[in-house]
Amino acid sequence: MPLRLILMRHAKSDWSNPSHTDHDRELNRRGRNAAGKMANWLAAMDYKPNRMLCSSAMRTQQTANLMNHAWARPVDVDIEENLYLASSGQILETIAAWASDTNAATTPTLLVLGHNPGISEAASRLSGEFCQMPTAAVIVLDCDVKSWADPLKRELIDFVDEMVPKRLSTDDS
């Protein structure tokens, strides 16, 4: 059975407080709603991850926490400093480093929660298709590998953009 990799960009962030650094920006109301909706969609599609690797930024951590809140059984979240504003290469290196440091064999489905432009570049690189990842976008790839430390040979399974949370509910305030 292949390993499943889900790449996701954090939900919509709040730019209203100029005193917040980029790293400390929180989600806005739309982002908080979208995180839960995307979690429900992942579960409904049977894509729920076993573990998440999450950037250290506030908006990614809030996205992960809200997704976990939406699931009956939360998943473990590893906060990875290297994912904050990471390039596509850094994202892949972080996955490989995580795999060598943990018991990754018990993680058949891994969600990596990050930022643009790196998350879009990683999605495009891995899928072989151009994937612009707006906020809360998700790409699902099945990887024909035995270990997360192996080079990721992959097949695109699903790609959804920020319109999914809007289509899942008319309440987009």
Per residue in 90-119, pLDDT (tens digit) is 999 998 888 876 666 778 899 999 999 999
Confidence of residue 142 (pLDDT cuts 50, 70, 90): confident
Strand-pair partners of 83 = none
CA pair distance 30, 7, nearest whole angstrom: 20
Q: What is the pLDDT of residue 146?
A: 73
Residue 159 has pLDDT above 50, yes or no: yes
Q: What is the pLDDT of residue 2?
A: 77
Residue 59 has pLDDT above 70, yes or no: yes
Residue 167 or 73, more confident: 73
Q: Hey, how many other C-beta atoms are within 10 angstroms of the C-beta on 92?
A: 19
Residue 86 has pLDDT above 80, yes or no: yes
Buried b (16+ CB within 10 A) or exposed e, 34-72: bbbbbbbbbeeeebbbebbbbbebbbbbbbbebbbebee
Confidence of residue 144 (pLDDT cuts 50, 70, 90): confident
Buried b (16+ CB within 10 A) or exposed e, 10-22: bbbbbeeeeeeee
Q: Which residue has the tokens 């992960």?
A: 64
Joined tokens for residue 100 = 């060598």
